[in-house]
Structure formats: structure tokens, C-alpha cells
Structure 1
């Protein structure tokens, strides 16, 4: 049996803003009726965070819930716990229409942290990242450069970026170059 490795294998670019591989992260896509009590309960039981509303992410360490669409959540759990988490979802959702799939090895998680992390991402994504609009806990699915990505602000100086594993190097390099260029000063 081989050992799991993250898409970026610990890659880091250090400067005023650090871009780093966040390592292995358990990610489950959960589709269903987001208003259903069963779904909400199993999600909050698994993660220990409040259920997220539209356009939001509620995270605590390597656990959390991210709103993906009107019928889809991204459930974050420790990488080693994904199998047990899906079994718990299956048990809780029995008899209802839902889909729970492990995406952990198909995605990469990149952390952008530092005093102008917001600007690093703003240069690459067609999203209004002004502090009045994009607060910690705000979540967006969009693009970074030419690739699909999603991101949320963990705090005022930290942005978590999710992309497909196949484009992780491109997304990382794009973020690292954006960080090297320095702040724009408009946010």
C-alpha cells in the first residue's frame, strides 16, 4: 500500500505573504436538501461547527462546512477520518435522496497567509475582495487565472484556496508570483 501525499508535497513560497501546501485534507462533497434536519445534524456532528449559510464557510482547524451551491456542501474532516465520516453520513441519511463522495485525493488545499493575502488572491480572481464585501468566513467558487478554484478567508490575513489536484502546481505558482509582486494598495 502506498502512502498518501498531497498534490504539492509540502511546497512553500515564503515572503511577506506565504503561499503553502496545506497538506492532506479530507474533503467530502455532500449533495442533498440543505434544509433537511438530518443533513444539517450529521454535518454539524461531524465537524463541530455551525451549519454554514449561502456563500459562507465555517471552519475550525481541519474540520468545517463550505457552501458550494443550493444543494451542495463541502464537508472538511481530517484526511484519515473520511471513510468513517462517509459511513456516518450514509447511516444518518438512509432513506433520503443524497450523494456523499470522497474528493480528498482529487483536490489540493493551498494556504495564502500574510498582511496582504487578500490582495494576492484579488489580483487573480474575478471577485470583489474588498474588506467591506469579503469578510472572514465568506466563501466563493470562481477562477484563479485560468483554472476553477474556490476559496474562503479564514481570518483577515489568511485565505484557503481549493483547486483540482491536476492544476495544483499552476495555482500554487500563480499565487506565489502574485505574492512576489507585492500589494496593490486598493483593498
Structure 2
């Protein structure tokens, strides 16, 4: 049996911010009625946290829940645990309308860090990244140039970025160009 590999095998780049493909990440899409007790209890059983408010993340990449839409969550866990967590979710939601799918191998995760991380993101996404508008604990789906992406800040200078695995090379290249030395704008 072959070993799973991340999309870019840990590629990294240093510019006005540090970019790193963050390795294998367990990711589970859960669709259903987020207010249903069976859904909430199943999420707590797997992630150890409650369903987050709209536009938020609770936890971190080792055990977190991201609000994706009114009927969709993204659960984060260690890559090796994703299949078992999907089964736990399915058993817990039995009788409730819902779907849990392991999408770990269809996604890539990047970490963008440093004092200019907000500037790099602002060059690529149509989002207000000022500290007053976007802070740690908030989660957002948007576009990064020509592709969909989702992201959150794990601290004031670090973004976690999720994209489809098929566009990981493109996203890495976008981030590298936006982080070129000498390209700081001084906006944040």
C-alpha cells in the first residue's frame, strides 16, 4: 500500500511572508441541519467542540470545526483519523438528514505567516483583511485570484489556506508572486 503524500510535498518559500504547504490534513465535509441535536452531538463527539457561529472556526487543525455555509461544516483532524471520524459522524447522525465525507486527499493546506501576511492575502482575495474586519477565529470562503479557497487566521500573523489539491501548484505560485521581496504596500 502506498503512503499518502501532500499535494506539494512540503514546498515552502520565503519572501515578505513565509509560505509553506502544511502537509497532510484530515478534512471532513458535513452537510445537514446544523441545528439538529444529532448533528451537534456528532460534531462534539468527533471534534470536541460545538458547531461554530456563522463565519467562524472553533479549534484548530488538530481538532476544529469551520462554518462553511448554513448547512455545511468542515471538520479538521489528523489525516490518519479522518475515516474513523466519518464513521463516528455517520453513526451519530443516523436517522437525521445529513452527509459526512472524507475530503482530505482532495484538498491542500498552506500556511502563510509573518508581519506582511495580511498584505499578501489582500493582493489575492476580494476580502477586507484589516485587523478590525478579519481576525483570528473568523473563517471565510472566497476566491484567490481564479480559484476558490477557504482561510482563517490561527494568530495575528498566520493564515491557514485551503484549496483543491488540483490547483495547489497554482495557489503556491500566486502566494509566491504576492510575497515577492520588495512588494510590501504598507497597508496593514
Q: TM-score, normalised by structure 1?
A: 0.96
In the alignment of these two chains, the number of paired residues is: 187
Match in the other structure for 1:183: 184
Q: Say whether the 8 Å CA contact 1:28–1:74 is kept in structure 2.
A: yes
In 2, Cα distance between the equivalents of 1:23 and 1:183?
Answer: 27
Q: Say whether the 8 Å CA contact 2:28–2:100 is kept in structure 1.
A: yes
Using a 3 Å threshold, how does the CA distance of structure 1 residues 156 and 50 change in structure 2: closer, same or farther?
farther
Cα displacement string for residues 64-120 of structure 1 (whole angstroms, at most 9, x for unaligned residues) = 111111000001111000111011001100111101111101000010011111111
In 2, Cα distance between the equivalents of 1:90 and 1:70?
Answer: 19
1:16-35 correspondence to structure 2 within 5 Å? 16-35=16-35
In 2, Cα distance between the equivalents of 1:3 and 1:134?
Answer: 37
Q: Say whether the 8 Å CA contact 1:24–1:79 is kept in structure 2.
A: yes
1:136-155 correspondence to structure 2 within 5 Å? 136-155=136-155
Unaligned regions of 5+ residues in structure 2, if any?
A: none
1:1-187 correspondence to structure 2 within 5 Å? 1-181=1-181, 182-187=183-188
Q: Say whether the 8 Å CA contact 1:59–1:154 is kept in structure 2.
A: no
In 1, Cα distance between the equivalents of 2:160 and 2:173?
Answer: 15
* 4+ residue segments displaced more than 6 Å: none
Q: TM-score, normalised by structure 2?
A: 0.95
How far has the Cα of 1:39 moved from its partner?
1.1
RMSD: 1.2
In 1, Cα distance between the equivalents of 2:104 and 2:61?
Answer: 16
SS in 1 for 2:178: helix
SS in 2 for 1:29: strand
Unaligned regions of 5+ residues in structure 1, if any?
A: none
How far has the Cα of 1:138 moved from its partner?
1.0
